Structure 1
Amino acid sequence: MQGTIAGPNGVVTGAGTSSLLSFVLVQKVTNRAPVGAILSAWAPKEVARWLGNHWPLWVRGNYSDAAQMVPEYAGVVDWGETYAFMSFPIPRKKGSKDYKNQPTRQILFGWTYEDDNNYGLLAKGWNGAFTLPRDMFVKKWTVRDPRAEERGSWGIVSRSGSSYDLETLGSRPAEEVDALMNESKTKWSEKSWTYSGSGLNNGTWKALSKQPKSRFYVLSATLAFNTETIRVDRSKSSLVTGFNLGPEAGKLRLWNVPSGKGNGTKLETLDLKVFVDNSIVEIYANDVFAMTTRIYPWRDDSNGLGYYTSGSSSVKYSNVKVWEGLTNAWPSDLPTRLTSLFGMGPMCLGLVGKGFS
């Protein structure tokens, strides 16, 4: 299944391999109440406030004989500054990893818009960029957590005593992105670090043992703590107050899962992967959460990397890895190509000068 359905409440794009037939993307919703009700476990008014004017959702449902989709549960495609997502299938090579489980991959792209309040828009000559490509898949896992009965962005496949088999729409950076990370010029790992909690409200900053020299890097880390919100504090991201320095936030539940020892349980860890490409920051968590946000550092030395913790609870950072010096997206002959482009006439120059949205 592939295609687009336009209706009074939005635009729905099919997400197409056999295991994904029950999932669709909702690109724009003018009446948020029906889908918001599905997200009631996470307070739809709060979710609407976080997502602002754009509302990129996915919905899982079943199709009736009248070719109508009956929603079961829904979730957020990206909690940040994105919209206009589109997916398409890519066949896997026979014999490759996961070929039997998912012979056709579903790739997702979105558009991240600027969050600079149009400051210097004409001067820089562009507006927005594509997100990194993402793999979409049906994620299934087992929890021992009564919260599974709540209404949220997951569905119950089966129950057995205190255990629940759940499913949801998974999302993670495409495998090609991981392959490009291996071509990074600089890579290093950090030792694990535990913050025991001091009860101070002003927070604690601990720099990594090594610092990046640029704002083009990937950070991967595993955190262990109890929370349901991922928040990006942009208040000190730039010296220019004209930019949007407000916070970004999204919901992510960490479940109680089998510990492997009898009927014991343990809390899931938070596995983060953060991509920093100058003004674009993409955050992925536990193969179910994505947030794309924008920052506009003004100083050349605004490239510090470290841990920031606050409050009285404890948190442990482990498996921390950094990849710096990512593959250059611009070809070496770009000036020649631009010269040819500008030679096409004033119309093309006008498009470049005003930017694209």
Structure 2
Amino acid sequence: MLAPRPRAHLTAPSGWLNDPNGLIHWRGEYHVFYQYNPFSTSWDVPHWGHAVSTDLVTWRQLPIALRPTPGGPDADGCFSGCMVDDGGDGPLAVYTGVRNSDGGEVQSTCLARATDGLRQLVPHRSNPVVAGPPDAEATEGFRDPFVWREDDGWHQLVGSGSRETGGIVYHYRSADLVDWEYAGVFHRGLASLGDPMDTGVMWECPQLVRSADADVLIVSVHDHLDIGRRKVVGFSGRRVGDGFKESGIDLVDHGSAFYAPAVTVDGVGRTLMWGWIQETQSPAGQAQQGWSGALTLPREVWIDETGGLRSRPVAEAAGLRHRVLLDEHVELGSGNRADVLANAGHAWIELTVDLRHADSVELHVLSDPSGRESTTLSYDRVAAELVLDRSTSTLSPEAITVAERAPLTVHDGVLRLDVIVDGSTIEIFAQDRVALTSRCYPALPESTGVAISAPSGSVAADIKIWELRSVI
């Protein structure tokens, strides 16, 4: 199966891409680094790949910025981390270095100074600055530092976990980013599968989103023995002292392909987020296409009046809309379907549907004219649920085709969707409240059609479709 490479989403030049790292808006440029294996389409010793943009629309791929240091604490991998501006000649990357030893894998916090306009990251002479976890409870890892500055100095969160007790985020303090003092457990979960929302045994990539009167702690739930537990959750609450007081929990994105997001605050005060769009096809399929993994569109995230985290594509993402392919008003009686466009394999679909006289509506994308392949996004008012049905998305046996689901209540009877279909990637945003990221791998080149159907009741819809431009 050879999936079309996305146009509007960042992918690595070749090989493997996973977590976004080191996000920073610095001197008029947006920098996105990412976990990168240039030698294979499977995960291996991570480097930091690098892309840069001045407008969040057009990007340039730059040479590898950070490589493992032979004999150093990152000799076997430069894992995920962040970037902070400490007032030096260039920002400072804070990341996890990995070194294999006879006793197993050693994970530690390391630093690297950006030089040459962030084109190179030079490891710090004091590495590692945090040599490992503070206690023996951290059996599942110790990685992915997230750092921010307040009036009292620098703060660092590190993801960890225990198979016995669940996910853990550790908290450290520092005056200079080099000497760190352990401040205690910032937050912890439970390992039980019976929890209302399973939060696994390891929390990767902790991120803290802040507002004037609320915080959201984001963690990526990981279990190397059960990949089905992987998800990204946001804990609503408030930082209190050196800990976090939780008041609620929700998924940051309801799609199974979304993982390991990272956030940064840009020069105008917006919190921006990128996530990793995982492959959901076999390793053989990834090897055939010659690349693996993509990053989401940049999203603006904010904390709403309930304390929950919300997201949507940044305003600049409208610049990805190259030209209008369709702009129509469609009215459908119960049981009817309208095929509206044949060629929309790389498209931004904006759909507004009046559901006051219907219980449901369906949007069909990546459809071929014969009906052999199609991916269906449906909304059911009675069930208050958005469903991405991938059961007929491909004729290939190499892809995962289970349905993706998200709870969604439409209070005013009007459904508002932005659906970005870009090769094998799909990002869905509903009502400015729900996000769902997925992958679909049609086997037929003609599977690029779009249709609307009304299974029960009559609907009136306004649909506008733009062709996507390339970001590179």
Fold agreement, TM-score > 0.5: yes
Name structure 1 gaps, 5 residues minimum.
31-48, 93-103, 141-154, 156-166, 199-203, 256-266, 331-357
Distance across 2 between alignment mates of 1:272 and 1:60: 25
Look up the SS of the partner of 2:348 in the other structure: strand
Deviation of 1:244 after TM superposition, in Å, equals: 1.5
Q: Indicate how the Cα distance of structure 1 residues 309 and 20 shifts in structure 2: closer, same or farther if over 3 A, else same.
A: farther
Q: Indicate how the Cα distance of structure 1 residues 133 and 107 shifts in structure 2: closer, same or farther if over 3 A, else same.
A: same
1:144-165 C-alpha deviation (Å, 9 max, x unpaired): xxxxxxxxxxx3xxxxxxxxxx
Name structure 2 gaps, 5 residues minimum.
1-146, 149-155, 162-166, 168-202, 360-380
Deviation of 1:245 after TM superposition, in Å, equals: 2.0
In the other structure, the counterpart of 1:320 is: 463
Structure 1 length as normaliser, TM-score? 0.64
Deviation of 1:240 after TM superposition, in Å, equals: 1.1
In the other structure, the counterpart of 2:234 is: 58
Please tell me whether residue 18 in structure 1 is matched to residue 211 in structure 2. yes
In the other structure, the counterpart of 2:246 is: 71
Look up the SS of the partner of 1:120 in the other structure: helix
In the other structure, the counterpart of 2:128 is: none
In the other structure, the counterpart of 1:168 is: 308
Distance across 2 between alignment mates of 1:282 and 1:70: 31
Deviation of 1:268 after TM superposition, in Å, equals: 4.5
Deviation of 1:315 after TM superposition, in Å, equals: 5.1
Distance across 1 between alignment mates of 2:326 and 2:304: 30
Question: CA contact under 8 A between 1:4 and 1:11: conserved in structure 2?
Answer: no
In the other structure, the counterpart of 2:195 is: none
Q: Indicate how the Cα distance of structure 1 residues 53 and 216 shifts in structure 2: closer, same or farther if over 3 A, else same.
A: same
Structure that is richer in strand per residue: 2
1:271-290 C-alpha deviation (Å, 9 max, x unpaired): 10000111111111011111
Q: Which amino acid aligns with 1:110?
A: G
Deviation of 1:187 after TM superposition, in Å, equals: 3.6
Q: Indicate how the Cα distance of structure 1 residues 219 and 83 shifts in structure 2: closer, same or farther if over 3 A, else same.
A: same
Structure that is richer in helix per residue: 1
Distance across 1 between alignment mates of 2:282 and 2:333: 37
1:99-151 C-alpha deviation (Å, 9 max, x unpaired): xxxxx1000100011111223222222111101111001234xxxxxxxxxxx
Structure 2 length as normaliser, TM-score? 0.49
Aligned ranges 1:71-150 → 2 under 5 Å = 71-80=246-255, 81-92=257-268, 104-140=269-305
Question: CA contact under 8 A between 1:207 and 1:306: conserved in structure 2?
Answer: yes
Q: Indicate how the Cα distance of structure 1 residues 22 and 12 shifts in structure 2: closer, same or farther if over 3 A, else same.
A: farther
Distance across 1 between alignment mates of 2:402 and 2:278: 15
1:26-58 C-alpha deviation (Å, 9 max, x unpaired): 21266xxxxxxxxxxxxxxxxxx9x93311011
1:283 to 420, 428, 440: 428
Q: Which amino acid aligns with 2:331?
A: W
Question: CA contact under 8 A between 2:326 and 2:465: conserved in structure 1?
Answer: yes
Q: Indicate how the Cα distance of structure 1 residues 7 and 123 shifts in structure 2: closer, same or farther if over 3 A, else same.
A: closer
Q: Which has the higher contact order (CA 8 A, sep 6+)?
A: 1
In the other structure, the counterpart of 2:454 is: 309
In the other structure, the counterpart of 2:416 is: 271
Look up the SS of the partner of 2:444 in the other structure: coil
Deviation of 1:214 after TM superposition, in Å, equals: 4.4
Q: Indicate how the Cα distance of structure 1 residues 214 and 12 shifts in structure 2: closer, same or farther if over 3 A, else same.
A: closer
Q: Which amino acid aligns with 1:273?
A: D
Please tell me whether residue 293 in structure 1 is matched to residue 293 in structure 2. no
In the other structure, the counterpart of 2:388 is: 232
Q: Indicate how the Cα distance of structure 1 residues 113 and 14 shifts in structure 2: closer, same or farther if over 3 A, else same.
A: closer
Q: Which amino acid aligns with 1:56?
A: V
Residue correspondences, number: 250
Look up the SS of the partner of 1:27 in the other structure: strand
Question: CA contact under 8 A between 2:205 and 2:261: conserved in structure 1?
Answer: no
In the other structure, the counterpart of 1:207 is: 339
